[in-house]
Structure formats: structure tokens, C-alpha cells
Structure 1
Amino acid sequence: MDSQTFKDAAISSIDEITNYFDTIAERPVVSTVTPGYLRKLLPHSAPQEGEAWPLIQSDIESKIMPGLTHWQHPSFHAFFPCASSYPGILGELYSAALSGACFNWICSPAVTELETIVLDWLAKALGLPECFLSTGRTRGGGVIQGSASEAVLTAMVAAREKYLRETVPEGLGEREREDVLAGKRGRMVALGSSGAHSSTKKAAVILGLRFETIPVAAEDGYALTGEKLRGKLKELRERGLEPFYLTVTLGTTDVCAVDDFRGIAEVLEEDRKERERKGGRGEVWVHVDNAYAGAALVCSEVQEQTDIKVVEQFHSFDMNMHKWLLTNFDASCLFVRDRSWFVQALTINQAVYNNDASEGGLVTDYREWQIPLGRRFRSLKIWFVLRTYGIKGLQEYIRKGIKLGEEFADMLRSRKDMFEILTGPSFALVVFRMGGNSEEDCTMWTRSLCEKINTSRKMWVTPTVLDGKYAIRFMTGVRTTEKEHVERAFRSIVGYADEVMKDDALERFANESPREWEAEDMKMETESEDGD
């Protein structure tokens, strides 16, 4: 493909992409294919001779589109958003053109320096404390990761190494030190609430460390509290274990709960002082997982509601611009209070990496802030998005999604005879279920409702279970979703709910035995005779 052919192909592709977004509402939300569909449509091996672009492009619509679930669809109400915008797409295009591994500053200085700058911009927009800026007094800063799960793993590696440095005595011989480290690792425990994302447990499994869950409850809004943490720390220390890491959450997966940051900080400070009084060392690293709802911090009212300044007492903070801030996947933005924690844990040197700028300590080398070595030019799309929309544009987008969630909740409240809101609206998420005469009815009807909604292909929702209660999550944060789509969704949900109740009534009637009918008839005859 020469430059002219590429230009022609690019123009044609851009036309197809813009048409896709312009007409996306006409497509079914969820793919209708069956497993293995694509293998039946594609050749068994790659072509021996190159093919013309028009032929390749035609396969997008005929073979790929049928197998896609459309996350940008206005009736996509499942999970959380996976953002896409034209500035983000352009950023990906330039990133692909300016391809490089870019693990050191010298590999492409602009790649490193733009990432540092735009993440400082983002930190300021989110209202983060100064300690998370690259220019802050603690020498913190941000780095772009692939996902929030990758960020959790990176933070836990740094937390483990920091805790070991603080608690393993110096001056040990090599073999003795290895024995002490092995014993220590066997007692170290990573913590997360029962509402936290599974990535914390997965990171602990990858690192061969223990993981313990701290239960959360409905009376606390499914948020982790300081008191619950205090109880778990006491229990673990009595068992001879050593908690070293905790994930707290702003916007949990199931219900978008916000953990009690201030209460947690106070308990951990008390714990640290008590351990120091007894001669103990090593603090619990706190990682703040804001993968989805962290985007809402661009709004000043959310900064106040969540008491975000308290995170100055924590160690790391991560949010995904690719969820709810109009930046294409992947753009998970991880901030750390002191960059040396990452550098000390993740630096492995080889002679091939040596250069004057790195060895002189003059630059940031992001290979020392992440698990992989190589990295893409991901900061371009963030730069494009921040400049195109501006902070005010991003605030308008977030507030629109939140308002739509509140309006959907009002619609549910208008039919209290049919629906019950379990949590929310919170950050454009409402969790609800069908009401019923018994818990069994509520569960059965809600499950059937969820199935009817999703099999319709007209919208997509996801289920969850809260304290044994089967429920439906309804999210309104997708860029293309407007009030008309939410109103249409509610009308459909009411219609499906009516069908569920009618189907259940018919099934119960059909399941009644002839003997039950005869017994009822005899009862009525007896009552009639007694009346005579």
C-alpha cells in the first residue's frame, strides 16, 4: 500500500466510521451470532497474495459487524461505558502512525514529556491533592496503564516491595535474608471490600500473596467503613498475619458506592501509631480505585461530595479515561504520591537501556513505572480530548449522564407498584428489581425481566446480586444516550414487566392440579349448602 492508496483507503474508512456512529442506533445493541461464527466465514489460512483494500474493507460490515456488541449504542445500559470520541480516534490514528516502543525518554522524548504534562492537567481537573502532580513536593506523578487491573497489580507490587524494605532488617546474609523474605511474604495480606473489583484478588493471586475480603453491608450503602476495616485489621494481627495493602473504591462495580475515605484514613493512622508504639514498622498501602466514577471528579460538586482531598493520605490513585471521559480504550491513569516507590520496585537495568539522560537522573523513564517494558503513545488521545472538549465540555457530558440516571430513577418511583430501587441513582447508575409478594417472586420476576430485556436486543442491561437479592443495573453514561432513549427504555421495561407477571400468573394457573380445582369446587358447594 503506497501513500496514495493509503490516503484513499483512509478517506473511505473515515466515511464508514462516521456513518457507523451516525446510524448506530439502528443496529441491535447486542450481537446475535453464535460461538464460532467467524471461523466459518474466514479462510483457513492467510492469503498468499495481497488483497485490495476495498475487498478487505467490505468484510468489516459483512463479517465483523454482526459479531460486535455496540458499546457506543444509545441503548447500551450494561456494565459501565467504554468511551469513544472523534478526538480520541484521531489520537489513536496518530499514535499508530508515530509507532515506537518508547520505554525510555530517549526513545522519543515527546512521548514521555507529553504524558507527564497531560496527566498533571488531568490531576488538576480531578481536584487531586498536589502530592500526585509531577511538580509536587513529594515527587509524585502519573503514568498511563492499560487498565485499572494493570494499575492495581502495579500498585500492589510497589506496596509489597515498600513493606518488605520497611520491615525486613538490614545486615542479613543473602541466604538468611531470602528465608526471612519468604516467611514474611507468607504472612502478608492484601485487602479489599466485598464491593471492590476482582482485580485486587487477581493481583494477589498473581503475586502469590494472601487476599482477604472485608464485608460491606446495605446499612452502610455497601461502602467500606473505618469500623469494618478496624475489625479486619485486629482479626488479621491476632492470627499473626500482616496486612500491607488495601484497595478502596470510589464507585464500586455493583452499585457505585463510595468508601468512607476519611474514616479509613483515621483508622489506618491509629493502626500505624499503635504499631510504632509496640516497635512495629511498615504501613498499609492504600490504592484508590476510581476506574469508572473517578471521571465525575471533573465536576466540583463531586469533589466536595466525595471528600477527595482525603486521598492525600493514601498512596496511589487510578481512574480510566476510557470509561467515562470520552477517551478511547486504553487509557487508565495511575497516580502515585512518590514515584520512587514505583522505581525501586520495578527497575531492572540492562546495558542496552543506558543513556546519559537516564543515568543523569534528568528524565522520567516510564518503563520503571509499569509491568511491561514497551509502551504506546497513549497520551496523544488524552491531549486531543482535553483540548477539544475542554474541562467545561467534559463537565457537561458527565452531568448529563448523572441527570439521566436521576430521571430514570424518578420513572421507576412512578411505578412503585412494580419496581423497587435498591441503590442509586449514583454516578449514572440505578440498581432496581421488580416488587412482589415474596422474596421468591421478586427474584424470579426480576431474573425473567432481565432475560426479556436482553433477548430483545433493543437494549442491554447487566444483573447483580445484593445480599441475596437479584437485581438489574441500569447505566446512563454512554455518550450517545439522550433522554428519549431512557424514556423509551423505561416504557419497554414496564411492558416486559407486565409480560413477566402475566406469564407467571398463567403458569401458576396451569400448574394447579385437577384435584385442587375439585377441592375448591367442593368447598364452594359446601359453603353454598351451609348458607341455604
Structure 2
Amino acid sequence: MDSKQFKEAATSAIDEIVNYYDTLPDRKVLSSVEPGYLRKILPSGPPEKGESWQDIQKDIEEKIVPGLTHWQHPNFMAFFPASSSFPGMLGELYSAAFTAPAFNWICSPAVTELETVVLDWLAKLLNLPDCYLSTGEGGGVIQGSASESIVTCMVAARDKYLRETTSHLSGEEQEDAIAHKRSKLVALGSDQAHSSTQKAALISGVRYRSVPTTLENNFALTGDALLKTINELRSKGLEPFYLTCNLGTTSTCAVDDFCSITKALKTAAPPGIGEIWVHVDAAYAGSALVCPEYHHLTSHFGEFHSFDMNMHKWLLTNFDASCLFIRKRKDLIDALSVTPSYLRNEHSESGLVTDYRDWQIPLGRRFRSLKIWFVMRTYGVEGMQAHIRRHVKLGDLFHGLVKKRADLFTVIGEPSFALTTFALTAKDGENREEVNRVSMQVYEAVNNGGVIYITSSVVGGIYILRVVSANELAEEKYVLNAFDIIVKTTEEVRSLNITNGSNGVNGVKTANGVNGKVHQELVEEGGAKGLGEVTDVNGLAK
């Protein structure tokens, strides 16, 4: 493909991408393909002779798109959003054009320096303490995901703890002490923390323990619970060295009690040798910090060691763009820097430049700061704030609707950051196990209906449904329609369970309707009663 052919192909590809976004509401949000569908329709190997772009492009719509779950669809209300924007796409295009592994400053100075600058912009916008800026001892670095950030920080925390607690020793004596201590190290996270903390512990070769939370505390980690766990571990001869705190847990978007955690750690592990590294995982909810009304949440972050948020979740930037901020960059560099002779150069040796290879586990890295730069400049601070506030308002709308139907639903935990989590309200004589079973039936029936896509979780033994509408195409009419579908599905499942006994005819399959598709017709029946008409927003004809 020469430059002329590339220009023609790129123009055609962009036209198709624009059309994809323009027609997203007319598509079904979930793919209906069976596992292994693609192998059956693709050849057994690559072509002997190259194909034309026209032939390749037609396979996107015919073979790839049918197997996509459309995360940018306005009816995608599952998990957390995965942001996408046209400025972000343009950043990816330029990054691909300028492609470089960029492990050292000299590989492409602009790649390193733009990352440093835009992450300082972001740190200030998020109201992070000045200690996280590159102009001091800290700084930011773009990682692939929040999970990657956690394992990177845990490795740094492990090495820091072992190095400092054995600093009075030397030689083989120190090596033996480190080996002994390593077997006793424990990483901590609340029982609501993302599984990436437990996985990071596996990778780091340390133990993992979770700290219990309660519904009474909105599933937030508290200092008292943390202190109790630390004391129990130490009584067994174990050594806690790392903690993941949450600004927005995965299941309910709970915010840990940073104030009481700070106080507990000052008692149990004061700053200095033997301190516990505290990492704040704000993968999704951290984006809300662009709005001043959330700035109070960062007041204790100067006491912590690292903070991470994903711009690719809620802040208009295409995957991947996980922004890790470190209070003392030396802690990362000491743990992760390896400099063989072939990586040495005068600029790195001078100490005047940043080599981000020492801030991460991989060596090479992409030019990811371009898309962040493009997004920030295109939307501006006001545009990013409006983006967050619009979704929070939609979340408040949905939460209000759920509360009005207390006969059907019970809100679990406080709604926050556009997310509402709720369970079915128990009927007379129902125990928790029975309510959970019916809640699961409702969840499965909603998704099998094929109109909207939501997710579920279990917190404190309660089976909950999660709804968050926070992508660029989200609108009030889709939120109203989603609530209407969930209400009608719940009423149908309840009715079937009453009519056919506790398990229904053929169990869950009956609750899902004929072939699991009964709820396709809900949209055609109209919108949420008393909330304005919502008609055929899903384009069911396609």
C-alpha cells in the first residue's frame, strides 16, 4: 500500500467509523454469535497474495462487527464505561504513524516530554497534592491498565519494604533476612477491592488478605477494620507492607474512609522504615475529580504513596490510558531500573531526563500521551466537567426511579459516580437466598432480552444489579427505557414464580421468556409510565 492508496483507504475507513457511531443506536448492544464463530468463517491461513483494501474492509462489517459487544452503545450500562472520542482516535492514528518503542528519552524526546507535561496538567486538574507533580519528587506515568499500575506499585512497595527493614545488615546476612521476610509479607485490600490486588500479590510472590467491610459503612474500608486486620496478621508473625484503597469500588463505587485509614496507619505503621505503602485505586471514579465538587476526596492523598485513574474509562480517551501518579518516583526507579550496556546513553547518564522504562514493568511503550493531549485541548476543562456532570445527573435520575419502586427494588449502598446498585425487595416470607435467586433470574432475563446490557455482583451476601449509563451517547431517554425494561422484567419474573412455584416452569428459562427474547418487544410498547414516551430507541428492525 503506497501513500496514495493509504489516503484512499484511510478516508474510506474513517467514513465507515463515522457511520458506525452514527448508527450505533440502531444496533443490538450485545453480540449473538456462538463461541468459535470466527474460525468457521475465516480461511485456515493468510492469503498467498495480498488482497485489496476493499476486500479487507468489507469483512469488518460482515465478519467482525457481528462479534462485537458495543461498549459505546447508549444501551450499554454494564461494568463501567470504556471511553471513546474522535480526538482520542486521532491521537491513536498519529501514535501509530510515529510508532516507536520509546523506552528512553533519546528514542523520541517528544514522547517522553509530552507525557510528563500532560500528566502534570491532569494531576492539577484532579486536585492531587503537589507531591505527585514531576516538578518535585513525584510524577505521573501512563500504564496500560489500573491492574498493571497495582502490580507495578506492589513490586516497588515490596522492594522498598525489604530494602529499608534490612538496611542495618549487609552481604549474605542481609540476603538471608530479605529471603526470610519475603515469606512473611502480606498485601492488603478490602473485600470490595478489585481482584487485581490479589493477582498482583500472586505475581509479586507475597500473601494476600482482604479486610472486611459492611453495608452499614456503605462497603467502605475503615481505619478500625484495617487496624484490626494488621494486628491479627502481626500476631501471627506476618508483615503487612502494602494496601490498596478505593475511590470507587468495582461493585458499588464505594469510597474508602481515607481519614480513618490515615489515622490507623499513623498508629500501626507510621511513616518511615516499615511503613505500609498505600495505593489509591480510582480507576473509574477518579475521572470525577475534574469537578471541584469532588476535590475534597483528595485531602488525605499527600499521606499516601500512589494514585491511579483510567482516562479510558470515563474521561473521553480511548483505551489504553491508565494514569499512575507516584509520590516519590525514586521508589519505582529503585525497584524497576535495570540498565544493560546497550541502553546506556549520555542523556540518561546525565540524570537530566526521564526514562519511563524505569517506571513500568515492560521496556517499550507507545505514544499514548498524544490522545490525552488531544482530548484535553478539544474538550477543555469545562467540556470534561460537563461530560462527568451529565452522567452523574443520569445516574441520579435512575436512582430516583428505583427508589420510587420500593415495592420491587431496594437500593444497596449509596448511589455514586453515576452508578446505582440495587436488589429485589423481599416478598413476605422470602429469605435472602430466595431473593438472590429471583434477582439473578431478573438479571439474566434482562440481558437475554437483548435490548440493554447490565451487570450484577454480590456484596455482603446480597445479589445486586448494577446500572451505569456513562458513555458519550448516553441520554435520558435510554435511561428511562432501561428502567421500564427492568421493571417489566421483574414483574414478569415475579408473576411466573408465583404462578409456577418457586422455581417456575423449567426454572430460569421460563423467566427469560420464549427463547430468552420476550423483552425485545418492551421498547415498542412505550416508555416508563409517567416519565414521557420512549419509542423504539433501539431500532429493533435491525
**Is TM-score (shorter-chain normalized) higher than 0.5?**
yes
Task: Please give the per-residue CA displacement for 1:363-402, whole angstroms capped at 9, x wherever unaligned.
Answer: 0000000000000000000000000001110100101111
Give the corresponding residue for 2:409.
419
CA distance in 1 between counterparts of 2:358 and 2:45 reads 39
- Residue pairs, 1:118-157, within 5 angstroms: 118-136=118-136, 139-157=137-155
Give the corresponding residue for 1:46.
46
Give the corresponding residue for 2:85.
85
Give the corresponding residue for 2:251.
254
CA distance in 1 between counterparts of 2:155 and 2:202 reads 12
Alpha-carbon deviation of 1:205? 0.3
CA distance in 2 between counterparts of 1:511 and 1:6 reads 58
Give the corresponding residue for 1:165.
163
SS of the aligned residue for 2:490 comes to: helix
Give the corresponding residue for 2:262.
265
- Residue pairs, 1:29-428, within 5 angstroms: 29-136=29-136, 139-173=137-171, 175-273=172-270, 281-304=273-296, 306=297, 308-428=298-418
Counterpart code for 1:243: P
Give RMSD over aligned pairs: 1.4
Q: Does residue 458 of structure 1 match 2:456?
A: no
SS of the aligned residue for 2:415 comes to: strand
**How has the CA–CA distance of structure 1 residues 233 and 55 changed in structure 2, closer, same or farther, with 3 Å as cutoff?**
same
Alpha-carbon deviation of 1:178? 2.3
Alpha-carbon deviation of 1:424? 3.0
Task: Please give the per-residue CA displacement for 1:185-217, whole angstroms capped at 9, x wherever unaligned.
Answer: 001111000010111110110111011110111
- Residue pairs, 1:489-508, within 5 angstroms: 489-508=482-501
CA distance in 2 between counterparts of 1:171 and 1:433 reads 56
SS of the aligned residue for 2:361 comes to: coil
Give the corresponding residue for 1:529.
none
CA distance in 2 between counterparts of 1:477 and 1:379 reads 23
Alpha-carbon deviation of 1:436? 2.7
CA distance in 1 between counterparts of 2:120 and 2:215 reads 37
Task: Please give the per-residue CA displacement for 1:484-524, whole angstroms capped at 9, x wherever unaligned.
Answer: 10001111111111211121122129989xxxxxxxxxxxx
Give the corresponding residue for 1:524.
none
| Identity percentage of aligned residues | 55
CA distance in 1 between counterparts of 2:278 and 2:490 reads 43
Give the corresponding residue for 1:17.
17
CA distance in 1 between counterparts of 2:502 and 2:166 reads 70
CA distance in 2 between counterparts of 1:211 and 1:509 reads 40
CA distance in 1 between counterparts of 2:301 and 2:83 reads 26
Alpha-carbon deviation of 1:471? 1.2
Give the corresponding residue for 1:435.
425
**How has the CA–CA distance of structure 1 residues 508 and 95 changed in structure 2, closer, same or farther, with 3 Å as cutoff?**
same
**How has the CA–CA distance of structure 1 residues 509 and 363 changed in structure 2, closer, same or farther, with 3 Å as cutoff?**
closer
**How has the CA–CA distance of structure 1 residues 143 and 11 changed in structure 2, closer, same or farther, with 3 Å as cutoff?**
same
CA distance in 1 between counterparts of 2:504 and 2:294 reads 52
Alpha-carbon deviation of 1:170? 4.0
Q: Work out whether residues 306 and 325 of structure 2, in 8 Å CA contact, stay in contact via their aligned partners in 1.
A: yes
SS of the aligned residue for 1:433 comes to: strand
SS of the aligned residue for 2:414 comes to: strand
Counterpart code for 1:454: N
**How has the CA–CA distance of structure 1 residues 167 and 14 changed in structure 2, closer, same or farther, with 3 Å as cutoff?**
same
Alpha-carbon deviation of 1:111? 0.2
Give the corresponding residue for 2:463.
470
SS of the aligned residue for 1:425 comes to: coil
SS of the aligned residue for 1:423 comes to: coil
CA distance in 1 between counterparts of 2:407 and 2:374 reads 48
**How has the CA–CA distance of structure 1 residues 171 and 446 changed in structure 2, closer, same or farther, with 3 Å as cutoff?**
closer
Alpha-carbon deviation of 1:165? 1.5
> So what's the TM-score if we normalise by structure 2?
0.91
CA distance in 1 between counterparts of 2:263 and 2:165 reads 22
Higher Cα Rg, which structure: 1
Say which is worse superposed, 379-388 or 461-470, in terms of deviation: 461-470
Q: Work out whether residues 496 and 504 of structure 2, in 8 Å CA contact, stay in contact via their aligned partners in 1.
A: no
Say which is worse superposed, 327-336 or 419-428, in terms of deviation: 419-428
CA distance in 2 between counterparts of 1:460 and 1:254 reads 16
CA distance in 1 between counterparts of 2:169 and 2:204 reads 26
**How has the CA–CA distance of structure 1 residues 509 and 51 changed in structure 2, closer, same or farther, with 3 Å as cutoff?**
closer
Q: Work out whether residues 497 and 503 of structure 2, in 8 Å CA contact, stay in contact via their aligned partners in 1.
A: no
CA distance in 1 between counterparts of 2:338 and 2:220 reads 38
Q: Work out whether residues 211 and 229 of structure 2, in 8 Å CA contact, stay in contact via their aligned partners in 1.
A: yes
Alpha-carbon deviation of 1:27? 0.8
SS of the aligned residue for 1:245 comes to: strand
Task: Please give the per-residue CA displacement for 1:124-175, whole angstroms capped at 9, x wherever unaligned.
Answer: 0000000000013xx10000000000000110111011111110134522x3
Counterpart code for 2:42: L
Alpha-carbon deviation of 1:449? 0.9
CA distance in 1 between counterparts of 2:49 and 2:274 reads 62
Aligned structure 1 segments of 4 or more residues deviating by more than 4 angstroms: 509-512
Give the corresponding residue for 1:520.
none
- Residue pairs, 1:511-530, within 5 angstroms: none
Alpha-carbon deviation of 1:342? 0.7
SS of the aligned residue for 2:240 comes to: strand
Task: Please give the per-residue CA displacement for 1:284-328, whole angstroms capped at 9, x wherever unaligned.
Answer: 000000000000000110112x2x121000000000000000000
CA distance in 2 between counterparts of 1:348 and 1:57 reads 43
CA distance in 1 between counterparts of 2:459 and 2:121 reads 38
